[in-house]
Amino acid sequence: MDPVLVVGAGPVGLTAAAFLAHAGAPVRIIDANAAPTTLSKALVLWRRSLLTLAPLIPPGYWHSVGEPVLAACFADNGELAAQLQVPAPPGYTQQPHLNAAAAAAAPSASEASDAGDAAAGKDGQAAAAVPEQQQCGSVHALPAGMLVVQADIEGALVTLLRDSYGIEVQRNTSLAAFSVAEDSSSVLCTLTDTDGSNQQQLRASYLVGCDGGRSAVRKLLGVQFAGTTLDQRWLLGDFRYEVDAAVNAAHTPQHPCEGSLQRGTLFISPTDVGLMGLIPLGKRQGQVRVIWNADAHCPGEPTMQDFQQLLSTHTRQQMRLTEALWLSEFKINERQVQSYLHGNGRVLLAGDAAHIHSPAGGLGMNTGLQDAANLAWKLSLVAAGEAAAGWQLLDTYQEERHPVGAHVIRMSGLLLRANALRNPFVRFVRNSSNSSSSNGSSSNANGHDSSSSTTNGKKPYPKDEQECSKCVKEQRVDENLKPICGRDAEGLPQHHTSRRGVSNQVQLSTYADAIGDNLSDLTAFLQQDELQGAFGSLHLLPIYPSTGDRGFAPVTYQEVDPQMGNWDQVHSLGHEYQLCLEYMVNHISPGSPQFQDYLQHGEASRYASMFVKWRDIWPEGGPSADELEKVRTRKPAPPVLSVTLADGSCMPLWNTFSDQQVDINPFSEEGWAFTEASLRSLCEKGRARLIRLDAFGYVTKKAGTSCFMQSPEVWQLLERIKAVVKPYGVQLLCEVHEDFKLNIELARHGYWVYDFALPLLMLHALKFKTAEPLRHWLSICPRRQITTLDTHDGMGVDDVAGLAPLAAVPELERSIVCRGGSINYKHFYVPAAQFEADASCDDGGEQCRRSSDTLQQVSQFLQPDCLQGCYKSVPHQYNETYFSALGEDPQQYLLARAIQFFTPGVPMVYYVGLLAGVDDIELMKRGSIRDINRHHFSLEEAACCLQRPVVQALLELCRFRNRHPAFTGRVFVDDATPPHELHWLAYQHVKRRLLARAYPICASKQ
C-alpha cells in the first residue's frame, strides 16, 4: 500500500504521523528543516489536547517537561486588577513563588509560607509534585492546561515515532511539487533536498499538508488563504532572567504576581506603551516569554534592552533579563482556507496550513493537534480501504474541523481585541497614537477594509447606489420589521441537520454563472459577511456542459462545464452548504457522446436502446388523433424529432422538449447504465446531498396513455434511482408542476417535492386580502417539501388548480401582465371534432393554424386523422420576479417571505429573489420569456444589492429561520387554525399576522 505522506514535522505533522502509525497505516514524514526546532513557540497544551494525545502519550508525562496552568493575572500598567485562579489538579502541590521579595511583600500567611519555601531553594523552582494518577496515564483530573514549550512537545512526538513505530522524520527534505493521479487513486509527489538538489518521486496514497502558515502544499494547490493581517506590530522575546529587587525599586509589589513570575501563572497587562504578557517557559527554569504589542513604541529591531525598559518603566516587575534566547517580531494573521480537502479528497490540510490566528488564548497548536488526531483515524481507515464510502468519512474531517477553526479565529480575535480595548487607558493609548486603524478597522473575508461602517453600527447605503442600475431605490424598511431581525433569536442555539437528512435551513437556488460569471465568483459572493448564516443548502442549477435551455440539455454529468468551474469548486461549496444538484431523467443533449455514437452507427450502436424510437411506441406508424389527444405535450407539436443517421436513413425519435433535449429510455439497458453512472457521478464527484429529478414524469411512454407519470413504471423507476443514491445518504427531490395531489402522493412515497402552489396562493392572499385558500393549502400540503415563491421557471398555474378560487387566477394573470410580466403556455392537441366545438379555437385561429403547420411538418409520423386537429395553448406559468409581482414593495415582499419561511417545509430562495431583483425586460426581449426572472448580476451589482435594506432584512429573516429552535418542531395548521395564525410547536409558538400592515413576529424560548 502506498504510504500517507505527511509534509511538515511541526507538532501537527508529528501528531498526524504518530496517530497514523498507531493505527497501522504506512506513513512517511518529511521536513524541510535539517533539525527539530529549539524555539519555544507555543507554550500551552490545553486539557483537550492532553486528552487528544493521551492514546499516544500519557498525560502524566507532561509533568516531566511542564507545569500545570494555575492562574492568570490581569493588571493595568503592571498593577494587579484581577486574578483568575484555575483549580490545581488533585494531588498537585502548590509550589513556591519564584520571587522571594515579592512574596515577602504579600500579606497572606500562605504566601508568606511559600516565600519561606522559595528561600529554601536558590531560585525557588523546586520540582512540582506530579499527581500519581497522571503519571500512570489516567486521563482523569487533568489540569486545565500544561505549560510546555513547543520544542519539548515536538521532541516527545519525535521520540515516540522513532521508538514506538520505527519512523524517522526525513529531514532536509522539501515537497517541491505534486499531482493527483487522473483516476484520483494516489498522489505523485516530488521531493527534493531543501537546497533543491536530489530530486525523488514518491507515490503516496494521501498527502497531508502540515507545513505551517506558509504551507507549500496550500500554495501548490493554488488555494486562497482568505482573511486579513492585523495592522499591529508584536514583539516577542524569550529570556533568561533573575529576580532583583533593585529593578523597579520605586515600586513595592502589592501582590506577588506584580513583582515577578509565579509558577503556572500567566501575567497580562496593558501599559502606556502597549499590551504585554509574561509567560513562564514550562519547566525551563528561570526562563520567560515576554510578548509586547509595541506598535510604534519600539520602532527598530527589538533588543533585550527594549524589553528590559518595558519591564522596568511600565510594570512593577523586579525582573532582570540576563540573556536573550529568541527575539522576534510578527503581525497577526486571521486566515483560513475554505476547504481542508482537495484533489478529490487526496490532499488534506491541517494545522497552521489551514488556519492561523491571534495567539491570544494559546490555541493555534492546540487546534492543529486536534485536527491531526481527527484526520488521522479516518485516513487510516480510508487508506486501508476499510471505510465503504471513503470520501464521505473524510468529508466529516472538513465538517467537524473547519467550523472549529473558524470559531477559534473568531474567539482568539475577540479575546485579543477585548484585552486591548477593555481598559480605558488602553483605549486612550490606542486613540492618541496614530495607529487607530489597526484596532478600529475590520476586514472582511476577502481582506477588504470595511472600516467605513458608520458609528451607529449600521451599514450605510453604498455610495454608488445611483450607478447601480438594478438596485431599486426604496424606503428604509419599517421599524416594525425589527423583531424579525434577530433580537429575540439571539442566543438561541443554531440547529443542525443530520448529515444524512435534508438541511432544514434556507436553501439558495442559483445558476453557477448568475452572480458573477462562474463558481469561483459565486463562492466569492457567498463568502461575504452579509450572507453568513443565511443559507444552509445550495441548489445549483445545471453545472454540466450543455447545448441549450440554460443547462437543461446536458452533454454529460461526469464533468462541470469548464466555463463554470470544476468539481473542486463544487466540493468547496459542498463543505459550506448542503448541495442540491440537477439530474434530468428524461433527456440528454444530442451533443452527448452516446447520441453521437447512435447517429454514427444507428441500430449497431451500443447506445441504440437508450433513445426512444417513435416506432417502438407506435408500431402502426404513428398515433391516431384520439391517441395524440391523450399525450401530454410540452410544445405545440407532436413529441417527435426526425434525425438522419450516418447511413442516410431517417429515424423519428421521441422528443418531449426542444430539439436539444433528446428523450432517453431509462428502462432500457443502456439507458439505465447511463442513468446509474450519471447519478453516481453526482453523488461521488458532485458530493450532492439532494438530487433534483427534473422532468422525470415524461419517461413513461405507453401508447394510448398520457405518456406522463404512468404507474407502476414511474414509481419503479423512482425506487431504482433511490436505491442507487441511498448508500451515499442522498435524497431525491422530485420536480413536477402538476395537480397538487401528485405532489402529496410523491411525498407520501418518501420523496421530497416542491411547493409550487405557494407563489400564486401567496399573491392571491396578499392581493385579495384573504388567507383562507392559503390556510387550507397549508393544512393539507406535504411536510416533506421545499417551499418556493420563485424559481428559474415561472409561477405554476396547474399547481393551484382546485386551490385558488376560479376567478382569482385570471385576475392575478391580468395584474402580472399589466406590470410587464409574461405568460408561458402549455399546449395540448385538439382533435378536429372538438376543434370545431371549441369556440376559443376559433378565437385563437392564428394559434391553431400555426400549430397545424407543425402537424403538417411531421405528418408522415402521424395517422392521417391527426392533421385535422390543432394545438391549443393555455397559460402554464406566469413569469415575473416575485419582488416585481408584489409591486416592488419591500413590506409586501418581506411579508410574503416571512409567511413562506413559516409554512411547512424547508424554504428556498431563488437568487433573483435573494437580491430583490426586478423584471429584466431587456433580457426577456433578447432571449426567452423566462429570462425576465434570470437577470445576470455582476459581483459589484450583487454586492451593491446586498446593502439594500430589503435584502438585509430578508437575510436576517433567513438567519432567524435557520436558528430558531421552533423550526425543528412540527408545524400545526388545521381547519380550526385561525387563518392569520400558524403555530410551530417545539419549544415555543411563533405567530405571524397576515393581514395587518404591521406584522410582528413573536418568538420566545419557552
Ligand X SMILES: Cc1cc2nc3c(=O)[nH]c(=O)nc-3n(C[C@H](O)[C@H](O)[C@H](O)COP(=O)(O)OP(=O)(O)OC[C@H]3O[C@@H](n4cnc5c(N)ncnc54)[C@H](O)[C@@H]3O)c2cc1C
Distances (CA, A) of 190 to 214, 345, 865: 18, 19, 73
Minimum CB–partner distance for residue 675 and ligand X (Å): 45
Minimum CB–partner distance for residue 366 and ligand X (Å): 4
Minimum CB–partner distance for residue 333 and ligand X (Å): 11
Residue among 258, 395, 694, 920 flagged as catalytic: 694
Q: Are 208 and 379 in contact (CB under 8 A)?
A: yes
Q: Are 345 and 390 in contact (CB under 8 A)?
A: yes
31 binds ligand X (CB under 6 A): yes
Interface residue with ligand X among 365, 898, 915, 946 (CB under 6 A) is 365
Interface residue with ligand X among 67, 114, 211, 880 (CB under 6 A) is 211
Pairing of the two strands 507-510 and 906-910? parallel
C-alpha cell at 68: 500545570
223 binds ligand X (CB under 6 A): no
C-alpha cell at 978: 385561525
Minimum CB–partner distance for residue 44 and ligand X (Å): 5
Minimum CB–partner distance for residue 42 and ligand X (Å): 3
- Long-range contacts of the stretch 396-402 (C-beta < 8 A, 24+): 396/499, 397/340, 397/341, 397/348, 397/371, 398/339, 398/340, 398/341, 398/575, 399/499, 399/575, 400/374, 401/340, 401/350, 401/354, 401/370, 401/371, 401/374, 401/375, 402/336, 402/339, 402/340, 402/575
Residues 44 to 83: which contact ligand X by CB under 6 A? 44
366 binds ligand X (CB under 6 A): yes
Rg of the chain (C-alpha set): 34
- CB closer to ligand X out of 39 and 126: 39
6 binds ligand X (CB under 6 A): no
Minimum CB–partner distance for residue 268 and ligand X (Å): 13
Q: How far apart are CA 135 and CA 128, in angstroms?
A: 12
- CB closer to ligand X out of 12 and 588: 12
364 binds ligand X (CB under 6 A): yes
Q: How far apart are CA 300 and CA 303, in angstroms?
A: 9
Interface residue with ligand X among 66, 124, 264, 359 (CB under 6 A) is 359
Interface residue with ligand X among 18, 30, 538, 982 (CB under 6 A) is 30
Minimum CB–partner distance for residue 3 and ligand X (Å): 15
- CB closer to ligand X out of 177 and 780: 177
Minimum CB–partner distance for residue 327 and ligand X (Å): 11
Residues 234 to 253: which contact ligand X by CB under 6 A? 236
If you search the block for the grid coordinates 439594500, which residue do you land on?
Answer: 948
C-alpha cell at 362: 494559546
- CB closer to ligand X out of 33 and 624: 33
7 binds ligand X (CB under 6 A): yes
Q: Are 912 and 790 in contact (CB under 8 A)?
A: yes
Stretch that binds ligand X, among 121-129, 317-325, 363-371, 694-702 (CB under 6 A): 363-371
- CB closer to ligand X out of 357 and 701: 357
Stretch that binds ligand X, among 25-33, 384-392, 805-813, 884-892 (CB under 6 A): 25-33
Q: How many residues bind ligand X (CB under 6 A)?
A: 33
Q: Are 555 and 545 in contact (CB under 8 A)?
A: yes
E-state strands within 905-1003: 906-910, 970-972, 983-985
Q: How far is CA 541 from the centre of its chain?
A: 17
Residue among 334, 371, 735, 888 flagged as catalytic: 735
Stretch that binds ligand X, among 362-370, 511-519, 624-632, 898-906 (CB under 6 A): 362-370
Strand partners of residue 290:
237, 278
524 binds ligand X (CB under 6 A): no
Q: Are 567 and 685 in contact (CB under 8 A)?
A: yes
Q: How far apart are CA 245 and CA 102, in angstroms?
A: 8
Strand partners of residue 546:
554
Residues 127 to 186: which contact ligand X by CB under 6 A? 150, 174-175
If you search the block for the grid coordinates 453600527, which residue do you land on?
Answer: 457
Interface residue with ligand X among 4, 42, 160, 945 (CB under 6 A) is 42
- CB closer to ligand X out of 25 and 281: 281
C-alpha cell at 132: 500519581
Interface residue with ligand X among 362, 554, 759, 794 (CB under 6 A) is 362
- CB closer to ligand X out of 80 and 189: 189
Residue type, 980: H
Contacts of 550 (CB under 8 A, 6+ apart): 511, 541, 542, 792, 934
- CB closer to ligand X out of 226 and 923: 226
Minimum CB–partner distance for residue 233 and ligand X (Å): 14
Distances (CA, A) of 186 to 176, 180, 203, 710, 931: 17, 6, 7, 46, 44
C-alpha cell at 361: 488564548
Q: Using the 8-state DSSP alphabet, how is residue 613 labeled?
A: B
If you search the block for the grid coordinates 519591564, which residue do you land on?
Answer: 311
- CB closer to ligand X out of 327 and 673: 327
Residues 329 to 358: which contact ligand X by CB under 6 A? 351-353
- CB closer to ligand X out of 178 and 882: 178
- CB closer to ligand X out of 150 and 785: 150
Minimum CB–partner distance for residue 388 and ligand X (Å): 30
Q: How far apart are CA 870 and CA 251, in angstroms?
A: 103
954 binds ligand X (CB under 6 A): no
Q: Using the 8-state DSSP alphabet, how is residue 93 labeled?
A: P
Distances (CA, A) of 668 to 53, 653, 683: 55, 15, 22
Residue in 940, 938, 897 with CA at minimum distance from that of residue 916: 897
CA atoms within a 13 Å half-sphere pointing along the CA-CB vector of 541: 23
Strand partners of residue 641:
653
Stretch that binds ligand X, among 105-113, 360-368, 747-755, 882-890 (CB under 6 A): 360-368
Q: Does the CA dihedral 237-238-240-242 come out positive or negative?
A: positive
Is 694 in the active site?
Answer: yes
Residues 904 to 933: which contact ligand X by CB under 6 A? none
847 binds ligand X (CB under 6 A): no
Q: How far apart are CA 226 and CA 947, in angstroms?
A: 22
Minimum CB–partner distance for residue 757 and ligand X (Å): 53
10 binds ligand X (CB under 6 A): yes
Catalogue the active-site residues.
694, 735
Binding site for ligand X (CB under 6 A): 7-13, 30-33, 41-44, 150, 174-175, 210-212, 216, 236, 351-353, 359, 362-366, 368
